[in-house]
């Protein structure tokens, strides 16, 4: 393996971490609080961001009714694309400017919430799209001031976007999946109503559940914040701070909950306890990775999803697509197996939280034990068996490596130095398990 140890010297590295989290309201029926909470944030006319599928569900009516009860005007934008693009971000920002809104309510999955973040950003601080997009794809400029208030209401149990300052999109002409990352993008509040998971198809729960699990595993095994170079000023500390004691708390519990409830939540849509617990795990893992950052499995997932040829899983709209959580899950075992040497005790602890028998195991067994548990859970809930399961072969690896290298924000958060040679090996070992 050609991954290399990071300089272990703490000299010049950070000595503190920052806890940044949205206000979260969690519980069945919580969507009924949207209007009152919007009014207390000063909203009078809002853009409700959703997609056509969610608009047809009862949760949309709950939100609109609650806003009306608080005499808040709503301009409905339901044209969110399943995977947002530069074009769909532009369209949403234009809608926001034309509608002259003073706040945002997003109701949907990660694509919806990310689109609301982008609409808010570009309507509040107009600029060309590339201005705030992460370097090296965009200019990576800092967002100059606060945004309008945004209440995010997730209807899937995966992305954690409701509690993070990250918005992801496809830059179509550049063939790049990229994003914008800033604490200013973080929604003002998250309203998490676990009833929304009742309407999710089983394999959407499977893919998004694996995303939850990987958020927690990657945040827990990321480079420790004490090994990241100190920021130039305290407020310039990056979102991807590295693993830290605050994020560790949420990661441990999210991993434990995924082990206990994910297979149940996939197997039976009427198992309310299991689906509610996975929604809670998603919230915890979102808060954790919003403060620690994910690493290689997510960086590789952008290439795996972005270069899809003809894979079309059931339960998703037609057209070639590797759902985000699935694109992450097919890489994760390969990464944990290879990187465990850079954080042996942490990988072993994760394996134990996922049900591995760690009695008598040495720390060096952690990577294999953890990878085996992730593979076993993937099999149980119908996640494809490696990147060959979503249509890639050995011949695609150079292209996948080229698609991953621009994700420097994520690769720099790995527990070791990750270069092209390292990625080539990781993809090779991720072909099938
Ligand atoms: Zn994710």
Ligand 1 center to residue 328 CA distance, Å?
A: 7
pLDDT (0 to 100) of residue 238: 86
Helix axes 344-353, 332-339, angle to 10 degrees: 140
Instruction: Find the 40 Cα to ligand 1 centroid distance in Å.
Output: 31
Tokens of 411: 């690769």
| Token pair in block for residue 183 | 């604490």
219 Cα–ligand 1 center, Å? 11
14 CA from centroid of ligand 1 (Å)? 26
Give the single-character DSSP code of 129: G
Q: How far is the CA of 159 from the centre of ligand 1 (A)?
A: 5
Centre of ligand 1 from the C-alpha of residue 299, in Å = 10
Contact 76, 50 (CB under 8 A): yes
In this prediction the pTM is 0.93
- pLDDT over 70 percentage in the chain: 98
Angle between helices 344-353 and 202-221 (to 10 degrees): 150
Q: What's the pLDDT at 9?
A: 52
pLDDT at residue 136, rounded to an integer: 82
Cα of 305 vs centre of ligand 1, distance in Å, is 12
Q: How far, in Å, is the centroid of ligand 1 from the Cα of 211? A: 5
Question: pLDDT category, 11, cuts 50, 70, 90?
Answer: confident
Q: What separation in Å is there between the alpha carbon of 66 and the centre of ligand 1?
A: 30
Q: Identify the CA nearest to 79 among candidates 102, 51, 107.
A: 51
**How far, in Å, CA of 234 to CA of 230, rounded?**
8
pLDDT of 313 above 80: yes
Alpha-carbon span 64 to 60, nearest angstrom: 6
Nearest alpha-carbon partner for 429 in 366, 387, 401, 373: 387
* Distance, CA of 40 to CA of 42 (rounded, Å): 5
Task: Check residue 214 and give its pLDDT.
Answer: 98
Structure-block tokens of residue 267? 């197997």
Q: Is 310 exposed, middle or buried (0-12, 13-18, 19+ CB in 10 A)?
A: exposed
Q: How far is the CA of 291 from the centre of ligand 1 (A)?
A: 14
State in Å: Cα 212 to ligand 1 middle: 7
Per-residue pLDDT, averaged over 336-355, amounts to 96
Burial of residue 369 (number of CB atoms within 10 Å: 0-12, 13-18, 19+): buried
State both tokens at 140.
């990576």
Residue 268 has pLDDT above 90, yes or no: yes
Which of 121-140 are b and which e, b meaning 16 or more Cβ less than 10 Å from the residue's Cβ?
bbbbbeeebbbbbbeebbeb
CA of 52 to the centre of ligand 1 (A): 23
Report the separation in Å between the CA atom of 98 and the middle of ligand 1, taken as the mean of its atom positions. Answer: 32
Question: Which distant-in-sequence residues (6+ apart) come within 8 Å of 27 by Cβ?
Answer: 192, 193, 194
Per residue in 135-184, pLDDT (tens digit) is 888 999 999 999 999 999 999 987 889 999 999 998 888 877 788 999 89
Site of tokens 């292209």: 399
Q: What is the pLDDT of residue 116?
A: 98
96-110, 156-170, 213-227: which has the minimum mean pLDDT?
Answer: 156-170
Angle (deg, nearest 10), helices 397-404 and 296-306 = 120
How far apart are the CA of 150 and the centre of ligand 1, in A? Answer: 21
Q: Which residue ranges form the domains of the chain, and what is each CATH number? A: 4-18+200-429 (1.20.1090.10), 29-192 (3.40.50.1970)
Average of per-residue pLDDT values in the chain: 94
Residue 291 scores a pLDDT above 70: yes
| Span from the CA of 213 to the centroid of ligand 1 (angstroms) | 9
Q: How far apart are CA 366 and CA 340, in angstroms?
A: 6
Q: If residue 169 lies in a helix (H) or strand (E), which one and from where to where?
A: strand 166-171
Ligand 1 centroid to residue 298 C-alpha, Å = 6
Residue with more model confidence, 98 or 236:
98
375-400: average pLDDT: 97
Centroid of ligand 1 to alpha carbon of 396 (angstroms): 23
The residues with which 13 forms a beta bridge, in sequence order, are 229
355 Cα: distance to centroid of ligand 1 (angstroms): 22
CA neighbours within 13 Å on the CB side: how many for 374?
Answer: 40
171-177 long-range contacts, CB within 8 A, separation 24+: 171/85, 171/86, 171/133, 171/137, 172/85, 172/86, 172/87, 173/86, 174/137, 175/306, 175/403, 176/137, 176/306, 176/403, 176/406, 177/302, 177/303, 177/305, 177/306
């Amino acid at each position: 393996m050609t991954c290399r140890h990071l300089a272990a010297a703490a000299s010049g590295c950070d000595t503190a971490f920052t806890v940044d989290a949205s206000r979260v309201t969690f519980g069945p029926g919580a969507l009924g609080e949207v209007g009152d909470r919007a009014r207390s944030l000063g909203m009078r006319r809002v853009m409700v961001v959703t997609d056509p599928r969610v608009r047809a569900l009862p949760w949309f009516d709950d939100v609109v009714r609650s806003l009306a009860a608080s005499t808040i005007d709503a301009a409905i934008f339901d044209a969110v694309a399943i995977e947002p693009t530069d074009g769909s971000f532009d369209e949403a920002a234009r809608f926001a400017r034309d509608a002259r809104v003073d706040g945002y309510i997003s109701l949907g999955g990660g694509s919806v919430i990310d689109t609301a973040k982008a609409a808010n950003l570009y309507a509040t601080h107009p600029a060309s799209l590339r201005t705030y997009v992460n370097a090296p794809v965009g200019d990576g400029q800092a967002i100059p001031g606060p945004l309008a208030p945004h209440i995010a209401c997730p209807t899937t149990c995966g992305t954690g976007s409701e509690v993070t300052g990250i918005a992801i999109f496809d830059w179509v002409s550049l063939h790049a999946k990229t994003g914008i990352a800033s604490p200013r993008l973080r929604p003002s509040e998250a309203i998490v109503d676990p009833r929304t998971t009742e309407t999710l198809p089983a394999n959407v729960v499977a893919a998004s559940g694996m995303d939850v699990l990987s958020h927690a595993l990657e945040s827990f095994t990321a480079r420790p914040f004490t090994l990241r170079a100190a920021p130039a000023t305290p407020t310039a500390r990056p979102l991807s701070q590295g693993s830290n004691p605050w994020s560790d708390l949420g990661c441990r519990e999210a991993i434990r909950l995924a082990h206990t409830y994910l297979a149940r939540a996939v197997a039976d849509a009427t198992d309310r306890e299991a689906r509610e617990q996975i929604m809670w795990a998603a919230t915890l893992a979102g808060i954790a990775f919003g403060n620690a950052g994910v690493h290689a499995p997510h960086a590789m997932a952008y290439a795996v999803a972005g270069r899809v040829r003809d894979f079309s899983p059931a339960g998703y709209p037609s057209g070639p697509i590797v759902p985000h959580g699935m694109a992450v899950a097919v890489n994760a075992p390969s990464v944990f197996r290879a990187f465990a040497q850079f954080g042996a005790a942490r990988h072993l602890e994760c394996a134990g939280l996922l049900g591995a028998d760690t009695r008598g195991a040495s720390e060096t067994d952690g990577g294999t034990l953890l990878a085996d548990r992730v593979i076993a859970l993937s099999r149980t809930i119908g996640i494809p068996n490696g990147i060959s399961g979503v249509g890639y072969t050995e011949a695609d690896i150079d292209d996948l490596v080229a698609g991953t290298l621009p994700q420097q924000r994520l690769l720099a958060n790995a527990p070791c130095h990750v270069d092209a040679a390292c990625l080539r090996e990781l993809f090779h070992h991720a072909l099938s398990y």
